[in-house]
Amino acid sequence: MEISELKAELEKLHPASFGWALSCCHRKAAEAEEVLQTVYLKILQGKAVYRGESKLQTWLFAVIRKTAISERRKQWLRTLVPGTTAEAVSELEAEFERSEMQQRFQQALAKLPARQRETLHLVFYQDLSLSEAAQVMNISLGSARRHYERGKKRLRLALDREGVDYGIDWNRKENSSAVL
């Protein structure tokens, strides 16, 4: 794929990519922006090459995830230096502006294990199938399904504990086998 063609495709996927980067960076906007920029740099340098073996979105999300993990490691080293950064301030401001309901949902989401949170994000936010989510996370379909089911259950329990009702009938019978 030519770089101009790839650029156009990346531009289309950019909002979804940023959402995924946010999820990988614990909802930290500045970090997500840095990760996304690094991903674009990798593509420009030819370090990340799309070979058409899977959907472009699946490939791109896998690259974003890997980059976020390595960036998080670097970030951990930076956090050894104490002090509140401007990024932390802006995150607090964003949290203040958020609705209470959304805030509680995000808190409940943040408490989930990373794999479960990622699976739920890819399925519900990015509208990917479980097999595509498994590809992004580099795990088997069975594992992805397990993370999905457990994540859903834990999220429901956490929201119940938080008292987030929103008129949702959580105990309604559902057909889990329909999800694929």
Partner 1 sequence: MELTGTEKRIQALFSELSLEDHSRTPHFEHLWTRAAATKPSRVPLFSKSLAVTVIVLVVAFSFAIWSRSITQNALNIAPLEIPTTALPRFATVVETPRSSHAQRPKRIARPRQIESDVVTEASLLSRWQSPTSSLMESPSRVSFNSLPQLNQSAKDLESFLKESNQ
Question: Could you say whether residue 144 binds partner 1 (CB under 8 A)?
Answer: no
Tokens 């329990």 sit on residue = 157
Task: Pick from 120, 133, 137, 158 the residue near partner 1 by CB under 8 A.
Answer: 120
CB atoms inside a 10 Å sphere around CB 58: 20
Cβ neighbours for 69, distance < 8 A, ≥ 6 positions apart: 24
Which pairs from 125-131 meet CB under 8 Å and 24+ separation?
Answer: 125/19, 125/20, 125/23, 126/16, 126/19, 126/20, 126/57, 126/61, 128/57, 128/58, 129/180, 130/179, 130/180, 131/180
Contact range with partner 1 by CB under 8 A, out of 40-48, 58-66, 77-85, 134-142: 40-48
Question: Could you say whether residue 47 binds partner 1 (CB under 8 A)?
Answer: no
Question: Could you say whether residue 134 binds partner 1 (CB under 8 A)?
Answer: no
In angstroms, give the least distance from the CB of 125 to partner 1: 4
Question: Could you say whether residue 93 binds partner 1 (CB under 8 A)?
Answer: no
Question: Could you say whether residue 56 binds partner 1 (CB under 8 A)?
Answer: no
Task: Return the number of the residue (82 or 121) whose C-beta is nearest partner 1.
Answer: 121
Distances from the Cα of 144 to the Cα of 22, 43, 94, 152, 168, angstroms = 20, 27, 31, 12, 25
- Provide the mask over 14-33, with x wherever binding to partner 1 is found by CB under 8 A and - wherever it is not: xx--xx--x------x---x
Question: Could you say whether residue 50 binds partner 1 (CB under 8 A)?
Answer: no
Question: Could you say whether residue 157 binds partner 1 (CB under 8 A)?
Answer: no
Report the distance separating Cα 136 and Cα 144, nearest Å.
10
Report the distance separating Cα 143 and Cα 27, nearest Å.
24
Question: Could you say whether residue 96 binds partner 1 (CB under 8 A)?
Answer: no
Binding site for partner 1 (CB under 8 A): 7, 10-11, 14-15, 18-19, 22, 29, 33, 36-38, 40-41, 44-45, 94, 98-99, 102, 105-106, 120-121, 123-125, 129, 152, 155-156, 166, 168-170, 172-176, 178-180
